[in-house]
């Protein structure tokens, strides 16, 4: 009888530990996803070109990143058409031509590649990863009057934000082309599936031609890359540490129970 009771107790403990393990893994997934995305983004070598590629990949149906797709990312050298920087909110993303899931994993995408900077509405879209320092999730903090800097096809530009709003994903007219020189940044309002989009609109102040100003933009890029890495340690590492520490303590407690 005692042996049967022991075996029964052992089975219950095994089930409880299995449930705790599953819970710890599920709680860890979002943080692991953000951590690895930031790691790949900060270690990938990027070459910036001054012309659009002759062949642009056809548009794909966009899906929210999963841990599996993120883990398939690599740090192989990539070719970007530019970079968008907004120091006030910590935005720093490379820009790629071609609306594909792969491009969006690595940075922002120009929605209408044939539009030029001058006398057009240049539209960039990016993922909201939930982590405020990865991709376009930082747009939640964008405010009117803040500056945005664009490196695009070999030239540098400065913009001033004049409007921020939340729109529906079906309101494509909100990013229609204009005769004014504008920049529109678009992302989901949440890291989960949602019909709402954050739209940040900015007007072109002018081209940055002074080498000193271009160097400033490069320094801003490097500083934000360092700050992003530090942020990831606080945002992703410590929650993971706490999750697995609690898991370990609970497992020990279960094992010690008679």
Which of 38, 120, 135, 188 is the catalytic position?
A: 188
- Spatial separation of the C-alpha atoms in residues 186 and 175, rounded to whole Å: 9
Helix (H, G, I), strand (E, B) or coil at 199: strand
8 is catalytic: no
Could you give the C-alpha distances from 21 to 25, 121, 210, 220, in angstroms and in order?
6, 49, 56, 42
**Are the C-beta atoms of residues 153 and 81 closer than 8 Å to each other?**
yes
| Catalytic residue check, 127 | yes
Helix axes 211-232, 2-43, angle to 10 degrees: 180
Answer whether 123's CB lies under 8 Å from 184's CB.
yes
CA–CA gap between residue 81 and residue 177 (Å, rounded): 20
Q: How far is CA 142 from the centre of its chain?
A: 15
Establish how many alpha carbons lie within 13 A of residue 244's alpha carbon, considering only the half-sphere containing its beta carbon: 10
Cα 96 from Cα 110, distance rounded (Å):
6
Q: Are the C-beta atoms of 133 and 231 separated by less than 8 Å?
A: yes
* Spatial separation of the C-alpha atoms in residues 95 and 171, rounded to whole Å: 23
- Point out the catalytic residue in the list 38, 120, 127, 131: 127
Report the catalytic residues. 127, 188
């Amino acid at each position: 009888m005692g042996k049967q009771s022991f075996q029964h107790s052992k089975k219950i403990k095994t089930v409880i530990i299995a449930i705790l393990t599953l819970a710890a893994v599920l709680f860890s997934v979002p943080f692991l996803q953000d951590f690895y995305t930031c790691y790949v983004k900060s270690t990938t070598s990027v070459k910036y070109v001054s012309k659009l590629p002759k062949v642009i990949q056809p548009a794909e149906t966009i899906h929210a990143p999963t841990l599996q797709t993120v883990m398939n990312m690599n740090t192989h050298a990539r070719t970007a058409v530019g970079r968008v920087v907004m120091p006030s909110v910590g935005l720093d993303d490379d820009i790629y031509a071609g609306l594909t899931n792969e491009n969006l994993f690595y940075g922002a995408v120009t929605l209408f590649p044939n539009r030029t900077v001058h006398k057009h509405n240049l539209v960039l879209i990016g993922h909201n990863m939930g982590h405020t320092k990865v991709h376009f999730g930082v747009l939640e903090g964008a405010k009117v009057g803040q500056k945005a800097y664009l490196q695009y096809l070999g030239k540098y530009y400065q913009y001033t934000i004049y409007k921020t709003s939340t729109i529906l994903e079906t309101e494509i007219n909100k990013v229609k082309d204009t005769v004014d020189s504008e920049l529109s940044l678009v992302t989901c309002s949440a890291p989960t599936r949602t019909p709402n989009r954050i739209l940040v609109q900015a007007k072109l102040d002018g081209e940055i031609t002074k080498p000193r100003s271009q160097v400033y933009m490069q320094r801003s890029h490097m500083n934000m890359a360092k700050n992003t890495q530090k942020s990831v340690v606080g945002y992703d590492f410590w929650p993971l540490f706490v999750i697995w520490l609690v898991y370990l303590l609970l497992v020990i407690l279960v094992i010690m129970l008679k």
